[in-house]
C-alpha cells in the first residue's frame, strides 16, 4: 500500500453489494447484553491481565459479532448455542493473535501450532479421557467448547470431525501466513515467496486464514440447518459454490485493503477503478450466492422431498448471516477502526 500513500480511498456503502441478503436487522439482538456481560467479558478477564489491553478487548465487543452471525437465534433457549459460539469466537480471535506474537519471540510458532492441533483434537473427541495439557490459556477455551458441543449442544461425532478438519486447516494456514511474513514480506496476503499474487491466489489464501469454512459449519449446525442434512447434499456443487461466495464476502479487518493493490496490478488500473471493479464483483458474489441458493432449494426438494427444504433454508440463512455479521462487526467494532471513516451518506473516506 506504500505506493498509495497520500491518496484518499472512497468506498461506497458496503451493504450495497449485500442487497440480496435478508438476515440483517437494525434491532438490537436480545441476547447481546447478556452474552457480553455473562460470557465474553468474563472470558476476556481470564485471558488478558493488562487493564488497558483488557479494556480494548472488551470495547471490541465480540458479543456483537456473535449476535450478527446468528440474528435468528433470539429465543431464551437459544442462549446455550450463543454461549458456545461466543467462547469459540474468542478462541479463534486470540489464537491467531498468539501466532502474530511469535515474531517477538513470545512463542515458537511451529511448535505452538502443533501443540494447539493436538489439544483441539483432544477437546473435540477425547475430552472425557486423561487430561492433555493446553499450550496456553487461550487454548484452554477449546476444552469448554468441546464439552459444550458434545454435552449441551448435542453435536454428533461426525459434526465434530468436520469441525476438526476445518480448524486444522485454519491453524495450518495461519502458520503458513506467519512463515511468509517473517520471510520479509510485511503483508503476507500480498506476496508468496517474494512475488505478487493474483486475485485468485488471494482468495485461495483467504479461505484458509479467515477460518470461513469453520464459520460456515458452525453457522449451519447451530442455526438448525446442517445437523439433519444428508451428508451427500453438503458435497453438492451448489453448496460448494455458496460457500465460495461466502468466502469472497467475508470482508473483515485488512482483507479489503490488501486486495486493492492486487486488483490494481492484476487489472492494470488506478485506485478509483480498482475499488469500482471490486464493488461490482461483490455485487456479483451476492447475486451468484442467491442463484446457487435457488438451485439448491429446487434440487433438494426434488431429490429428498419437501421435509428437507426447511433445513436447507436454515443453512442458506446461516451463510448469509456470516457475510452480513462479519461486515457489520468490521464497521461497528473499534477493533478495526472503520467507523471513524464512515460519512453520513454511508461512504467511507479513508486517507492512505
Q: pLDDT, tens digit, for every residue of 15-67?
A: 655 555 555 555 789 999 999 999 999 999 999 999 999 999 999 999 999 99
**What pLDDT is recorded for position 194?**
46
Q: pLDDT, tens digit, for every residue of 8-18?
A: 888 877 665 55
Indicate whether 223 pLDDT > 60: yes
Domain locations in the chain?
20-182, 235-343
* Grid coordinates given for 238: 451448489
For residues 258 and 300, give the distance between their C-alpha atoms in angstroms, rounded to a whole number.
38
Q: What is the 3-state secondary structure (H, E, C) of 65-101?
A: HHHHHCCCCCCHHHHHHHHHHHHHHHHHHHHHHHHHH
**What pLDDT is recorded for position 118?**
92
Whether residue 185 contacts residue 191, with contact meaning beta carbons closer than 8 Å, is answered with: yes
Helix (H) / strand (E) element for 168: namely helix 157-182
Whether residue 85 contacts residue 66, with contact meaning beta carbons closer than 8 Å, is answered with: yes
**What pLDDT is recorded for position 227?**
62
Whether residue 219 contacts residue 70, with contact meaning beta carbons closer than 8 Å, is answered with: yes
3-state DSSP helix/strand/coil percent for the chain, to nearest 5? Answer: 70, 5, 25
**What pLDDT is recorded for position 210?**
85
Whether residue 40 contacts residue 63, with contact meaning beta carbons closer than 8 Å, is answered with: yes
**What pLDDT is recorded for position 106?**
57
What is the band of 127 on the pLDDT scale with cuts at 50, 70, 90?
low
The most confident of 103-117, 138-152, 165-179, 338-352, by mean pLDDT: 138-152
For residues 110 and 177, give the distance between their C-alpha atoms in angstroms, rounded to a whole number.
12
Q: Residue 255: which of 264, 267, 247 has the closest Cα?
A: 247
Q: Residue 226: which of 314, 298, 161 has the closest Cα?
A: 314
For residues 156 and 153, give the distance between their C-alpha atoms in angstroms, rounded to a whole number.
9
Amino acid at each position: 500500500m506504500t505506493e498509495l500513500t497520500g491518496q484518499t480511498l472512497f468506498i461506497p456503502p458496503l451493504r450495497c453489494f449485500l442487497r440480496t441478503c435478508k438476515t440483517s436487522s437494525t434491532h438490537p439482538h436480545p441476547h447481546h447484553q447478556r452474552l457480553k456481560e455473562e460470557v465474553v467479558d468474563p472470558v476476556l478477564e481470564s485471558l488478558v491481565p493488562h487493564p488497558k489491553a483488557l479494556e480494548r478487548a472488551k470495547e471490541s465487543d465480540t458479543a456483537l459479532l456473535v449476535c450478527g452471525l446468528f440474528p435468528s437465534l433470539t429465543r431464551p433457549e437459544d442462549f446455550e448455542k450463543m454461549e458456545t459460539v461466543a467462547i469459540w469466537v474468542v478462541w479463534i480471535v486470540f489464537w491467531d493473535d498468539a501466532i502474530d506474537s511469535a515474531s517477538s519471540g513470545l512463542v515458537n510458532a511451529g511448535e505452538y501450532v502443533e501443540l494447539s492441533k493436538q489439544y483441539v483434537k483432544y477437546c473435540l473427541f477425547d475430552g472425557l479421557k486423561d487430561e492433555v495439557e493446553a499450550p496456553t490459556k487461550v487454548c484452554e477455551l477449546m476444552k469448554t467448547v468441546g464439552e459444550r458441543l458434545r454435552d449441551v449442544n448435542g453435536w454428533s461425532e461426525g459434526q465434530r470431525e468436520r469441525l476438526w478438519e476445518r480448524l486444522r486447516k485454519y491453524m495450518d494456514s495461519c502458520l503458513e501466513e506467519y512463515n511468509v511474513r517473517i520471510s520479509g514480506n510485511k503483508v503476507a496476503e500480498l506476496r508468496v515467496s517474494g512475488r505478487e499474487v493474483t486475485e485468485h491466489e488471494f482468495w485461495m489464501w483467504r479461505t484458509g486464514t479467515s477460518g470461513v469454512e469453520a464459520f460456515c459449519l458452525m453457522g449451519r449446525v447451530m442455526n438448525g440447518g446442517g445437523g439433519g442434512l444428508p451428508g451427500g447434499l453438503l458435497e453438492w456443487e451448489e453448496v460448494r459454490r455458496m460457500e465460495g461466495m461466502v468466502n469472497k464476502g467475508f470482508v473483515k479487518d485488512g482483507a479489503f485493503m490488501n486486495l486493492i493493490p492486487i486488483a490494481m496490478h492484476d487489472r492494470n488500473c488506478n485506485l478509483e477503478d480498482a475499488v469500482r471493479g471490486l464493488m461490482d464483483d461483490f455485487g456479483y458474489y451476492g447475486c451468484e450466492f442467491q442463484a446457487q441458493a435457488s438451485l439448491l432449494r429446487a434440487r433438494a426438494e426434488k431429490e429428498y422431498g419437501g421435509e428437507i427444504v426447511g433445513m436447507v433454508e436454515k443453512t442458506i440463512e446461516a451463510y448469509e448471516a456470516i457475510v452480513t455479521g462479519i461486515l457489520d462487526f468490521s464497521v461497528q467494532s473499534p477493533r478495526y477502526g472503520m467507523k471513524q471513516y464512515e460519512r453520513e451518506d454511508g461512504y467511507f473516506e479513508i486517507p492512505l
